[in-house]
Structure 1
Amino acid sequence: MLEKVEGFVNEPLPRKFLFFDEMITPSLVQAAYWLGLVCVIWIGLEKLFHGGFFGIFEAVIFVLFSSIALRVIAEMVMLFFKMNATMEVVAKNTTPAPVSAAPTPKPVRKTRKKVSKKVTKKTGGE
């Protein structure tokens, strides 16, 4: 039984999926974008046919702004994943700095206030 599980895990697709070797969210974001675009067009057509005279303007403005907003949101999410991939490449190409002993700080010398040797005389109350 254990051999079957190990064989399943060592296959490329399950290994990528189970051990996070590859991100699947970018593909899901693209699918969600297309589904969202279909929904925006569907709602725009509904506004066009059921909105009366002003429904035409409302539908055009809704479809235009909603499709742009949907695209910007999808691109921002994809940008985070591309930044992650770029940082992984940078991390692989960067050699870590050698660990050296931290320099010991110099002891702080406490200084005393210099007291004047002059003695001030108090004058008696006249």
Structure 2
Amino acid sequence: MGNFLSFDKMITPTIIKIIFWIGVAMSVLSGIGMMMTGVSSYYGGGLSVIMGLLTIVIGPLMVRVYCELLIIFFKMDESLKKIEKQLSNNQTSQQ
């Protein structure tokens, strides 16, 4: 609990994983919606069907890339904390 209150443990990476799954669901649902609109269209619905398929395939990939970019910042924070700890241990052992 102390790590949580002092912001030593980050909860945002867990939230980012939840955001990823929400983004994937939204991409798939919007793609299906676009395809249904294209199929029920009286004229020229083929483009909507193709765009729906592209949204289903490319949407989750884009959400994944975005979430990975966010997680990189937290990985850098963890690495910097490890480096800082090692440097402080080396300084105390040299004294």
TM-score w.r.t. length of structure 2: 0.79
**What is aligned with 1:121?**
none
**What is aligned with 1:17?**
4
Q: 1:60 aligns with which of 12, 32, 53?
A: 53
Write the mapping of 1:93-104 to structure 2, written as runs, cut at 5 A: 93-94=86-87, 95-96=90-91
SS, match of residue 7 in structure 2: coil
SS, match of residue 23 in structure 1: coil
Which consecutive residues of structure 2, in runs of 5 or more, have no partner in the other structure?
39-44
Q: Distance in 2 between matches of 1:36 and 1:28?
A: 12
Q: Distance in 1 between matches of 2:8 and 2:86?
A: 18
Q: 1:83 aligns with which of 76, 87, 90?
A: 76
Deviations 1:104-124 (A, max 9, x none): xxxxxxxxxxxxxxxxxxxxx
Hey, which of these two has a bigger chunk of helix by percent? Answer: 2
1:27 equivalent to 2:14? Answer yes
Once superposed, what is the RMSD of the aligned Cα atoms?
Answer: 1.7
AA partner of residue 19 (structure 2):
A
TM-score w.r.t. length of structure 1: 0.61
**What is aligned with 2:33?**
46
**Larger-Rg structure:** 1
SS, match of residue 81 in structure 2: helix
State the percentage of identical aligned residues.
Answer: 25
Structure scoring higher RCO (CA < 8 A, sep ≥ 6) equals 2
Q: Distance in 1 between matches of 2:76 and 2:35?
A: 40
Task: Say how many residue pairs are matched.
Answer: 84
Which consecutive residues of structure 1, in runs of 5 or more, have no partner in the other structure?
1-11, 97-126
